[in-house]
Chains A and B, each alone.
Chain A
Amino acid sequence: MNVYMHKTLAWIKSLASINIRVVATAIVAIGILHICTTLASPFLVEKTAYGRMEKQLPLNEMKILPPVTPTSQPLPFLSADVRYAMCRFSSTQGPITITAFLPDKGWTLSIHTPKGDNIYTATGNSSHTSLITLKLVASSNSFSGLTPQSLGLSLKEDPIQVLEAKNGIAVVRAPDRGEAYIRNTILAMRRAKCFHAKQ
């Protein structure tokens, strides 16, 4: 017992001899390293989702992907309970129009930046069908045309929403409810378009 007490006392004495400045320096250095590694880690990844999908998706064209299975899973954690249509867009050469028909609950249209941020999402509703039209522009400062109201025209269709996005991926998710529904699901997905808009 005495031996242990002696050792404990010696350890406490050795703690007292620790230089406070050294400890403070270590804590500050750990903090700086922590901040640097946290901020740097998104730039150290090999490939983002955009990078992975870049070669599989034609530019400014909506593509319906085959059903997600273990052998055809383009991204990790991409669930097999929905069918996907994706469009890799670039609005640097002019605005891009994206339209999607969201006939029921569970259907979504989402716009993702190359970093993976989800900058826009629309969801379907069972009470009414939604036809979403988006105009993607490289800069929100650029003139994207007069609105129908400003031209003195009545608004007959859903208004077009303008969104600032240079590059990214537009994703239409359609719940896969089984074999009996797949034909209608694919028909509705085919209504999703992605193309260069007129100025």
Chain B
Amino acid sequence: MRFALHRLKKRAINLVSALSDWAAFIGIILIGGIGSTWYFVSAGTALTTQVFGPWVMWSNEARTDADPYTRAHFARQPTLNLSTEIASTFVAHTDSDGVRLHSSCEYKINGKNLNASWWSLSVFDTSGKLIRNPIDRYAFTSDTVAISPNNEFVITLARSVQPGNWLPTTGAGRLTVVLLVLEGRNSSSINPDEYQEISLPEINKVHCR
């Protein structure tokens, strides 16, 4: 009787051990497979994105020949973006030091007037919603931004009123800044190397509350 019980116990232990091995194996596969997809689709890689300081551009955004990662990335956001054949959309979630943008901090976006036919810089919360503010200002464009005589501009992201080009961020929490650049002034299509020469704006933190 005691021997039979011992055998039964041993079998149960072996079964549990085999099951736990299988569970660990399946767990590793699920974490590895889904986790790697999440990373490739959310953050992108050198094959799918181009990074210029804090700005990230998906190279095949809205194109009919877009790769599956780009397609999956933009499928998560129901947007009507312009193709990279004619425009480039740069998205920044961090400042130039790599720290997450947050409405509790004040930032200066310093740049030279871009060599593009038209550009716009907008601020959203992380889910892509415009940030409510009393002056109804959500973006600056090459038409509306105040540019200094040396062809440079400074846009301030801040909660409280600021002189010059002020984009209110109120209490939005984490921020996303989107820079849309329409085709180069002297070319009919965009050359990615052009942006290295243009030098996209820097996002510098002034202080946090």
Q: Using CB atoms and an 8 Å cutoff, list the residues of chain A in contact with chain B.
A: 22, 26, 29-34, 36-39, 41-42, 45, 47-49, 51-52, 68-70, 73, 75-82, 105-106, 108, 110, 112-113, 115-119, 121, 123, 125-126, 169, 171, 175, 177-178
Q: Is the CB of B37 within 8 A of A77?
A: no
Known: A52-B78, A106-B182. A79 touches B122 (CB 8 A): yes
Q: Which residues of B contact A118 (CB under 8 A)?
A: 62-63, 80-83
Chain A: CB-nearest residue to B136: A69
With the chains together, A35 CA to B147 CA distance in Å? 47
Q: Does B186 contact A (CB under 8 A)?
A: no
B82 touches A108 (CB 8 A): yes
Chain B interface (Cβ within 8 Å of chain A)? 25, 28-30, 32-34, 36-37, 40-41, 62-64, 66, 68-69, 71-72, 74-83, 85-87, 117-118, 120, 122, 124, 127-132, 136, 138-144, 176, 178, 180, 182-183
Chain A residue with minimal CB distance to B26?
A29
Question: Given the complex of chains A and B, what is the CA–CA distance between A118 and B83 in angstroms?
Answer: 6
Q: Is the CB of B118 within 8 A of A76?
A: no
Q: Shortest 3 CB-CB distances between A and B: which pairs?
A: A76-B128, A33-B33, A106-B118
Contacts of B139 in A (CB 8 A): 79-81
In the complex the two chains form, is B37's CB within 8 Å of A37's CB? yes
User: B78: which of A38, A47, A119 is its contact (CB, 8 Å)?
Assistant: A47
Partner of A70, one of B83, B86, B131, B182: B131
Which chain A residue has the least Cβ–Cβ distance from B185?
A105
CB distance B76 to A45 under 8 Å?
Answer: yes
Residues of chain B within 8 A of A110, CB atoms compared: 80, 82-83
Q: Is the CB of A79 within 8 A of B178?
A: yes
Contact B75–A75 (Cβ < 8 Å): no
Contact assessment for A81 and B29 in the assembled complex, using a CB-CB cutoff below 8 Å:
no
In the bound complex, CA of A108 to CA of B142 (Å): 15
CA distance A182 to B29 in the complex (A): 56
- Asked if B78 contacts A175 (CB within 8 A), the reply is no
- A selection of 12 A-B contacts at a CB cut-off of 8 Å is A26-B28, A30-B32, A33-B32, A38-B69, A38-B72, A45-B78, A78-B128, A79-B122, A80-B138, A106-B143, A108-B182, A117-B83
* In contact, B129 and A116 (Cβ under 8 angstroms): no
Residue on A with the closest CB to B69?
A38
User: What CA separation (Å) do A51 and B78 show in the bound complex?
Assistant: 9
Contact (A175, B32) CB under 8 Å given A75-B80, A116-B62, A119-B64:
no
Q: In the bound complex, do residue A33 and residue B120 qualify as a contact, i.e. CB atoms below 8 Å apart? A: no
Extra pairs beyond A118-B83, A123-B183 (20, CB < 8 Å): A26-B28, A29-B29, A34-B40, A41-B41, A41-B72, A48-B78, A52-B78, A75-B79, A76-B129, A80-B122, A81-B138, A81-B144, A106-B143, A115-B75, A116-B78, A117-B62, A118-B82, A121-B82, A123-B117, A175-B141
The answer to whether A42 touches B71 (Cβ under 8 A) is yes
Q: Assess A73 versus B37: contact at CB under 8 Å? Given A108-B82, A116-B74.
A: no
Asked if B143 and A177 sit within 8 Å, CB to CB, the answer is yes
CA–CA, A143 to B37, complex, Å?
Answer: 44
Residues of chain A lying within 8 A (CB to CB) of residue B64: 113, 117, 119
Are B127 and A38 within 8 A (Cβ)? no
Please name all residues of chain A whose beta carbon is closer than 8 Å to the beta carbon of B144 when the two chains form the complex.
Answer: 81, 177-178
Chain A residue numbers with a CB within 8 Å of B82 are 108, 110, 118, 121
Residues in chain B near residue A38, CB distance under 8 A: 37, 40-41, 68-69, 72
How far is B139's CA from A139's CA once the two chains are assembled, in angstroms?
40
